[in-house]
Structures are given as C-alpha cells and as structure tokens.
Amino acid sequence: MMSKHEKYYTTKANFMLHGGDYNPDQWLDRPDILADDMELMKLSHTNTFSVGIFAWSALEPEEGVYAFEWLDDIFENIYKNGGRVILATPSGARPAWLSHKYPEVLRVNASRVKQLHGARHNHCFTSKVYREKTQSINTLLAERYGNHPALLMWHISNEYGGDCHCEQCQHAFRDWLKSKYNNDLKSLNDAWWGPFWSHTFNDWSQIESPSPIGESAVHGLNLDWRRFVTDQTISFFENEVVPLKEMTPNIPITTNFMADTFDLIPFQGLDYSKFAKHLDVISWDAYPAWHNDWESTADLAMKVGFINDLYRSLKQKPFLLMESTPSSVNWHEVNKAKRPGMHLLSSMQMIAHGSDSILYFQWRKSRGSSEKFHGAVVDHDNSTENRVFKEVAKVGQTLEKLSNIVGSNRSSDVAILYDWDSNWAINDAQGFGVKTKRYPQTLQQHYRTFWEKNIPVDVITKEQDFSEYKLLLVPMLYLVSEETISRLKTFVANGGTLVMTYISGIVNEHDLTYLGGWHKDLQEIFGIRPLETDTLYPSDNNYVTYRNQSYELKDYATVLENHSAIIEGHYKEDFYADTPAVTSHTYEQGNAYYIGARLDDQFHHDFYQELIKDLSIEPVHPVKHGKGVSVQARHDEKNDYLFLMNFTEERQPVTFEKSVRDMITGEKIKGDLILEKYEARIVAKSKMN
C-alpha cells in the first residue's frame, strides 16, 4: 500500500489539467469559430478539454448513421495544439429519434406519469434498449479513439441522478429485494415492520416503489428504494464501461459527482461511497455561491473544503475538479459574478485540498438555449481582453508552475464520518425538527474548528479504516449498524478518541429502533445511556456550562443517564437542569466523548481545542494569521506544499516561523507577509531541511 506522502497519479498527465467542457458540436457550421478556439486555448493557457458530453445527436444523427469526422478533426486539432481530450460517453442526453422509436427508454416519475422527450437525464437506467444503445455508441468511440495519443481519460455520461418508476424498474426493484432478503418475504416484512398499518406483503408482486399516490410512510421501503437507485445507477454505469475497459484498459474512468449548490452539502440522490468503488478517479462539479448575502466568504470556503475532503477521502488520493465556472452560473437565484481575484483564490483552494485540475463548464458560451448566459472562458464577444478571460489565463499560468504538486496527497490525524444511509434515514424520520435536522450542515459545523486551525481532516465513510486516526468524529449518526458499532468500539479500545453527539445510534441498518434503549456496546463505550431527546422551538433558549463557561444551546438536547462517565458539562435550565450534557469516558485504551446538545461555534472551538492539545494534533505548518485565512497542505516524499488563502475582504498579515519558497515567484519567505483581499500564495518547504 502506498504511503500518503507518495505520488498518486490520477491520469497519464504529469501536469495540472486546465480547460473544461468543449462543445464543438454546437458550432459545426462555423469553422471560423472552431479555428478561433484553437488559438484561444493557447492564449488562455488551457490544455485539457472534455468533449462529447451531449453530442449523441451529432455523432449518430439517425439510428445507425454515424458522423465521426467532426470529432476526428477536434481530436487532431487539440492534439496538434498541445492539448489533451477527456472523451465523454453521450448517454446523459438522448437524440430525439431514440426517444421516439423506443419510448421505453423514457422515465416514469413517482406519480407513475411517463415523461416526454426533453431536458437531460430523462432515461430509465433499467431499460434494456437504452443499455444496448449506450454500449453500442461507446464501443464505436473506444474503437475509434482508444489509441489516440490525445485521449487522457473517459468521462462516463454526466452528473448521474434521478430515478425511474416504470414497470421495468419495478421488476428490477423486486429482484433486488429478493437478493437482499434471500428470497424470504418474512425477512423483508420484519425489516420494514410490516404489521404497521397492515403493510405486510405476502407476494413479491405486491411491492411498489415509494409514491405520492401510493406508499411513502414505510421507512424501510424508502431506504431500500434509495439504495436500489444507487445500485441500479451503478449497474447502468458498469454496462456503459464494458467496452471501454475491454478496449482501453489503461485509460482511467471517471464520472462527475455533484454537491447541492445552495447549502453546499454532498449530493443527496446517490450514495457516492458505493459509486466511488467503481471509478478510477473521483471528479466533481463545484459551483459555490461566492459573495452571497447569507454567509461570509470564509464560511462558504469552509463548506467547499468539507466537500473537497469528502470526495478526496473516498479513494484517499487526488481528485479532479471536472466543472466549475470562471465567472457566474445561470441557475442561482442571483447569478453574481466572481469578484476580481476570487477565481484564482477559489481555484487554488481546490488544488490545496487535493485536486489535480481546474476544469470549467464551459469553454465557450452557447449562443442559445438554457446555458447561453452560463459563465465560460470565451464569452459571446470572442475576446481575449475581457476580465474573465484574463483571470482564466492567470490561473493557467499559475497551474503551469505547480506541476510538482500533481499526484501529491494530504494526510490527517482527524476524521469525520459521513454516511448517506444515515442522512436518508434521518430525513425520513417523522420526529425531531423538520427543518433542523441538517445532518450534513452539522458535520460541517464540527469540521469548522479544524479548518480554521489549519488541521487537515479526512471526511470518511463507514466502510473505511478508522485505525489510522487519532480522533474520529461521528456527529448525528442516527443510523448505525451493529457492525459499525463494533468497529467504533474496536477503534476506542485500541486507543482512539471518539466523539459522538445527540441523535446518534438510534436505528439499525433497516431503520428499526434498537430495543431496550441505547445499544449496549455504545453504553459500554460512553458510560452513559440517552433517555430522551428534547426538540426545541427556534424561540427556545437553554445553555450548557462547560469548563466554567456558558454556551448557547439550540434545536436539540439529550437527557442522559450517567453510568460511569465523567460529567464535563451540565444543562442550566428546564426539567433537565443540572444533569449531564457533555461527558467523557475511558474505554480500555481510548476515550469517548458524548455531546448531548447542539451547541454554538464557540463551544466547538473550545472543546476541540482541548482535544487537539491533548492528542498532539498539529496544524499543517506553524503559520500565524488572522481569522478568515486558510492554510492547507499537500505532501510528497520530498516537499510540503502550502497554500495560504485569504477568504476575507481585507488585507491579512501572515507570519512564517520557518523559511519557505514561493512556488510562483521563486522568492524565499520568512517572517511577515501581507495577503491582499482574495489573494492566494503557494509555497514549498523541503523535508530535507
């Protein structure tokens, strides 16, 4: 197994990828535009282009009639230009002839209404016809371009998501359930708590996917449907890549993951922890709402860091930023442009957290339809003189000086556990507060202190190894199987430090509550037993006293019965006043902390600061700076690469205790420097010194 300090190359390239989605199929009647593109690519210092993502109708305008000549030219021209191609399979959007001739490929929504042709991702993942058609076109692409020297990697479809409720999918779901429950309906009825509302099934054919016109309150059914949708999406993906793996085994494969843009939380529709196992490289599409009016720039940057650390941690190696915007998007409620300097800063944050690319949607703005005002490298003016083009070129020039960083990784003593199953289950739970569960946001709240203190964090999933971390955080782990509980127990027993919070360990993997109270192993680990969870109105106030300080409590408070734990904090008010709110407990060689209430940021800062000190957890580099500056690092066997980023609107002083070398200017730095508004500096420190 490779050390985290060794190089992990995500593609054949030993340079930072810079470029993005290129749609020459929109401009086939404008050879002058296509000629301009080649020159503009050089001037913008871009080198890599994702091609063919929505080009099916241009590649196969009629069934069995193919037109590859234009793509041949694009490959050749990009290669002669010194660039590389990420070739996409076109399944994300079908040609109209396919939908018209084979209507079974169209999705049926949860209300059992068949969808019309249009938009994108409007296809059934189960459809045998669609699987055959996608595999056929992919085979032709692999045959024609698999050995082309410009081909860098495969981009499979685009932003997989959504579900289909057609009869084909119903049959597939029932088959999936038969496999999961060993063809035993009693096991399924037990897992779904069938007697509730007389929902016991006595034949597999009676089972339907969740629907607003049918069943939506059987939580075990809802959870299994979401798991099925992930598995069926992966099955469709695996069908797509069969010819690519057979004919181009050395070309890496990816597909672009997503995040919710408004809250900037992980995409909720698919379990990426499962999907990641089928990819050679993780890539994702990042569109933060910079300069919004509901949070500070630094607050948003923290959330971006969390998503980056999650997607990097899925494979514990560098990832790719597959899509971003150099300016604004076109689907936010307010589509605000990036302010001067923000594009370089936000790009460097991606590199700092493990990306080996800065790629955009889109290279050139579309002339018509829904994305004609979405940000792009090349605007409608076709000019190199506008601000956005110049900022893109500056990013490209910067990346050209960062080739040594390609393949380097990050290392961490701290991990936070993120779980898609648990998030689905708690959102489905008809209890607690409808608007205040906020599982991903709660994890980000716990992540904040470490981000502010420049302490790297791996955001891991329940299948990953816990043993290499000093500190493991599992906030709001509502759904937790006995297998995961056992692994947490082993982690603490072997000397790890575990932090758990309110609304954790409530249900098993079937979303069935643990009878007899909290699971006995959790009681053993933590030395307590949660008795009940009080859910507060927004107007309610309570406080917790911890280390002689008072911290505000909002939303949730767990009433605890103490068995053998040390009481670190007490509730101040209400019927549970003076009872335990925060506890610690030694279990074998390790320690377990339980935080019973949702507390403010100051509490997390003070609480985690003590653990950081006790566990000798160090920041990436001894750097002094003001609030809103982030210092992140990547490492290889020879160097530490430090990124100093000012996510504030003011100049910020930074002080180095040790000498470093600026990777862009080459100058040596020791002592004080000033980061301008939105400025990023990248420095290297040799491990040999």
In a shared domain, residues 458 and 587: yes
d(CA 58, CA 288): 32
**290 occurs within a structural domain:** no
In a shared domain, residues 607 and 627: no
Domain boundary among 557, 590, 614: 614
Say whether 63 is catalytic: no
**578 occurs within a structural domain:** yes
Q: Which of 418, 498, 511 is nearest to 464 (CA)?
A: 418
Q: What backbone torsions phi and psi does residue 120 show, to the nearest 5 degrees?
A: -155, 165
Which pLDDT score, from 0 to 100, does residue 110 have? 97
In 10 A of CB 118, how many CB atoms? Answer: 11
In a shared domain, residues 627 and 645: yes
Which pLDDT score, from 0 to 100, does residue 658 have? 81
Which pLDDT score, from 0 to 100, does residue 4 have? 64
Say whether 323 is catalytic: yes
Could you give the dihedral angle defined by the CA atoms of residues 187, 188, 192 and 198, in that order, rounded to the nearest 10 degrees? Answer: -100
d(CA 243, CA 256): 20
Q: Which of 601, 273, 300 is nearest to 423 (CA)?
A: 273
* Coil, strand or helix at 224: helix
The percent of residues in the chain predicted with pLDDT above 70, rounded, is 99
In a shared domain, residues 676 and 550: no
In a shared domain, residues 434 and 496: yes
d(CA 554, CA 544): 10
**558 occurs within a structural domain:** yes
Residue type, 174: R
Tokens of 148: 């082309």
Instruction: Give the chain's domain count.
Output: 2
d(CA 177, CA 201): 13
For the chain, the maximum distance between any two Cα atoms, rounded to a whole number of angstroms, is 77
Cβ-contact 563, 526 below 8 angstroms = no
Catalytic residue among 60, 240, 323, 391: 323
Contacts of 328 (CB under 8 A, 6+ apart): 335, 336, 337, 338, 374, 375
**150 occurs within a structural domain:** no
**398 occurs within a structural domain:** no
The CATH number of the domain where 631 resides is what? 2.60.40.1180
With b for 16 or more beta-carbon neighbours within 10 A and e for fewer, the 362-383 pattern comes to bbbbbeeeebeebbbbbbeeee
Given a cut of 50, the residues of the chain with pLDDT beneath it are 1
Segments forming the whole domain that contains residue 676: 623-686
**570 occurs within a structural domain:** yes
In a shared domain, residues 659 and 513: no
Domain boundary among 571, 597, 614: 614
Domain boundary among 570, 586, 614: 614
Give the global pTM: 0.97
**665 occurs within a structural domain:** yes
In a shared domain, residues 486 and 572: yes
Q: What backbone torsions phi and psi does residue 450 show, to the nearest 5 degrees?
A: -70, -40
**630 occurs within a structural domain:** yes
Burial of 201 (0-12, 13-18, 19+ CB in 10 A): middle
- The pLDDT tens digits for 287-296 are 999 999 999 9
Question: How does DSSP classify residue 233?
Answer: H
Catalytic residue among 159, 452, 509, 679: 159
- The pLDDT tens digits for 665-675 are 999 988 889 99
In a shared domain, residues 602 and 663: no
In a shared domain, residues 609 and 633: no
The CATH number of the domain where 462 resides is what? 3.40.50.880
In a shared domain, residues 434 and 529: yes
In a shared domain, residues 437 and 460: yes
Which pLDDT score, from 0 to 100, does residue 488 have? 98
In a shared domain, residues 580 and 669: no
